[in-house]
Chains A and B, each alone.
Chain A
Amino acid sequence: MNDITLKIREIATRLLQNGQVDIFMGWEKGQEEYTTRPFFARRVEDVEKLIFNEYSIHNLSNDLLKYRDGQEKIGIVVKGCDSRGIVRLLQDGQIKRQRLYIVGVACPGMKDPLQAVKDNSGFFPATTSGELARKCNDCIEPNPVIYDELIGDKQTPRVGQERFKLVKDIENMSADQRYEFFEDVFSRCIRCYACRQVCVACNCRTCIFDEMKPQWVGRETSISDNFMYHLVRASHMAGRCIECGECERVCPVNIPLMLINQKLIKDVNKFFGPYEAGMVYIEGAKPPLSSYQENDPDNFL
């Protein structure tokens, strides 16, 4: 990992020095050994803060949205899943490819700093994590799918034989059991909208949940408003989730958001596939559910 850090610094220095980028997005060290966090270098002097280690888990592609209206040229380090996030943004017309210098890192799998902080917080019963982050066990593409420069040796996907095991378990439940399951998980939601904020596919300028006139979704933390929030969020993910798992990772009340996203991935693949979101960028290509044809046999959605 140290080699990767040095290589990233070398590239960042070069890009900032010759004015090829204005901002270089990577990670820096936090207070504890396990608290790596996002860091955006703007000057050559900042570069020495950049690191890449086993806790560089955050999907930085989402942060490009902060600069979508600007002119800055941006260097960004991406792992496999993060690079699919870049494809998402390019397909959604959120940022121009020419503004980006993408440094891809073949990802050996990450640990979750958030989980590590929680484990050491004293706010939960003692747990034994320290292994690979949960989201990395479902990884189908650890290698960047779009990049200008690639670092590290090619990695093999970590997902096991049964990719949609949990989804199938839920599908096999009776309707009542399923309702009970989702009622339980959604009743916990505190509506902090962190799942939306960290999501690269959530790039609408005005989110439906923020609209006041009309107010589509009520703001009570009640089971009906919470259900509505999660149903709407999920349906907006169909064919769009690039499986970075950030929503589930950051949820402070551990709602299994990726379970819902994976059900959509499975169904989109079945009905409109074969298709995996964000695996390849072809300019002008229209992925499933992103175009409409006049002769569509269904007249609504």
Chain B
Amino acid sequence: MPILSKSKIKDVLNQLSQNAELFVPLARGDESGFYSWNSYQEGSDRLMLDALNVLLPPKSIVFPQTERMYSFTGNGTTVEIKETFESPQPRIIFGLRACDAAAIACFDDVFLTMGFVDSFYQARRDNTTIVAHACYQPGANCFCEAMGVDPTEPVNADVIIRDTGDSYIWESKTDKGEKLSAALGALLENKEAKSPQLQPFKQQANYEGVAEKLKGMFEDPMWEELASTCQTCGICTYVCPSCYCFDIQVKSWGDEGYRFRCYDSCMYSEYTLMAGGHNPRSNEQERFRNRFLHKLQFFSERYGKPLCTGCGRCIVACPVGINIVQIINQVKEADTSVRA
């Protein structure tokens, strides 16, 4: 089978970045996230392929935090579109984990199915090749398996790499993956190797039946208690690999301008503010509840799976220690028959 020796990893990344923009997990200063391999600084940056994951998810590669859509010029009562900014250049995401691959699959559902195709997303997605990194050692806050994600078989992968210690098994899954294998040529060796064994999860979330049960818990008193300490900042939504809510805004000067979209967060009160001034989710508790219902119930009703892939980033970054695993389990265990 094709094997990629860890001693050749930088050669491989250099080779792959020849014909595409290559994104890899890096620790950079106090941050960790996916960055372009071209910006890698030997000495100050650190390649995080041996780490569990990075804090900032790879979602911005297919769905940037701020993305220009088109520019325009006004002309009396008409408007002329000058340029659209679809972005079809080839990109490779190298080393993303199954949770993050599954989150991109959620984006695919949202932006490409049910009769809606988002051409900006599609241009990026169609030209992105995914080299996913199978997981065998769940971390302190991982619970992907409970959310229906197989950490050892990332979905949407064009290539899957499997860590065997001093090398990776290189398993191409699609035509795009075969092309990468061909481009690497002799950098891949042919040897026998054995996949590692999946280790047990420390976090135990029991999501079974939760989506269904939540239908009857919209008014449950649990939400008030859970939301009481939430600061309604946007950290959880921005570090989440699967949160995709966005706003479309405009910047203009004189007759010219451009439209862009940017991440929005259901934690902000402005998110649901309507023309005319009404806000259907004006308090923190309503916003908090909506976030969890969207993740655990509404998305599942529409697309048949939860909008949480168990990466654990919100648990890590929440300023007040709100823990989605505990919330899932609390819903699961709640005895709703005794409640008013």
Interface residue ranges, A against B (CB under 8 Å): 30-32, 35-40, 58, 62-63, 66, 113-114, 117-118, 120-125, 188, 190-194, 196-198, 210, 212, 215, 218-222, 246, 249-250, 252-254
A-B contact pairs, 12 of them (CB 8 A): A38-B320, A40-B229, A121-B55, A121-B139, A124-B55, A125-B32, A190-B238, A219-B66, A221-B65, A221-B262, A252-B239, A252-B317
Interface contact B268-A210, CB-CB below 8 Å: yes
Residues of chain B with a CB closer than 8 A to A120's CB: 140
Interface contact A114-B319, CB-CB below 8 Å: yes
Specify which of A113, A124, A194, A218 is in contact with B235 (CB 8 Å cutoff).
A194
Interface contact A254-B235, CB-CB below 8 Å: no
Asked if B321 is at the interface (CB within 8 A of a chain A CB), the reply is yes
| Chain A minimum-CB-distance residue to B140 | A120
Interface contact A124-B321, CB-CB below 8 Å: no
Known contacts A252-B55, A252-B235, A254-B29; A198 and B326 CB within 8 A of each other: no
Among A123, A192, A198: residue with most chain B CB under 10 A:
A123
| Chain B minimum-CB-distance residue to A218 | B251
Interface contact A123-B51, CB-CB below 8 Å: yes
Query: When A and B form their complex, what is the total count of cross-chain residue pairs whose Cβ atoms lie within 8 Å?
Result: 127
Interface contact B30-A253, CB-CB below 8 Å: yes
Q: How far is B235's CA from A246's CA once the two chains are assembled, in angstroms?
A: 14
Residues of chain B with a CB closer than 8 A to A221's CB: 65-66, 262
How many Å from the CB of B321 to the closest CB on chain A?
Answer: 3
With A118-B55, A118-B316 given, can you name 10 additional A-B contacts, CB distance below 8 Å? A30-B321, A31-B326, A37-B229, A38-B321, A120-B140, A121-B140, A125-B48, A194-B235, A196-B233, A252-B55
How many Å from the CB of B301 to the closest CB on chain A?
Answer: 28
A-B pairs, 9 with minimum CB distance:
A122-B52, A37-B321, A194-B233, A254-B30, A250-B319, A197-B233, A192-B234, A122-B139, A38-B229
Asked if B231 is at the interface (CB within 8 A of a chain A CB), the reply is yes
Interface contact A125-B140, CB-CB below 8 Å: no
Specify which of A193, A194, A219 is in contact with B247 (CB 8 Å cutoff).
A219
Residues of chain B with a CB closer than 8 A to A117's CB: 141, 315-316, 321
Known contacts A38-B229, A66-B284, A120-B140; A190 and B251 CB within 8 A of each other: no
How many Å from the CB of A280 to the closest CB on chain B?
Answer: 27
How many B residues touch the partner, as a band?
35 or more
Complex interface residues of chain B between 287 and 340 (CB less than 8 A to chain A): 312-313, 315-317, 319-323, 326
Q: How far is B312's CA from A220's CA once the two chains are assembled, in angstroms?
A: 27
Interface contact B140-A122, CB-CB below 8 Å: yes
Asked if B273 is at the interface (CB within 8 A of a chain A CB), the reply is yes
Residues of chain B with a CB closer than 8 A to A114's CB: 317, 319
Residues of chain A with a CB closer than 8 A to B262's CB: 219-221
Among A35, A38, A215: residue with most chain B CB under 10 A:
A38
Asked if B5 is at the interface (CB within 8 A of a chain A CB), the reply is no
| Chain A minimum-CB-distance residue to B260 | A220
Residues of chain B with a CB closer than 8 A to A63's CB: 229
Interface contact A124-B140, CB-CB below 8 Å: no
Interface contact B31-A188, CB-CB below 8 Å: yes
How many Å from the CB of A84 to the closest CB on chain B?
Answer: 19
Interface contact A210-B316, CB-CB below 8 Å: no
Q: How far is B108's CA from A54's CA once the two chains are assembled, in angstroms?
A: 45
How many Å from the CB of B223 to the closest CB on chain A?
Answer: 14
Specify which of B55, B239, B249 is in contact with A219 (CB 8 Å cutoff).
B249
Q: How far is B234's CA from A246's CA once the two chains are assembled, in angstroms?
A: 15
Q: How far is B232's CA from A66's CA once the two chains are assembled, in angstroms?
A: 11
How many Å from the CB of A11 to the closest CB on chain B?
Answer: 20
Interface contact B251-A212, CB-CB below 8 Å: no
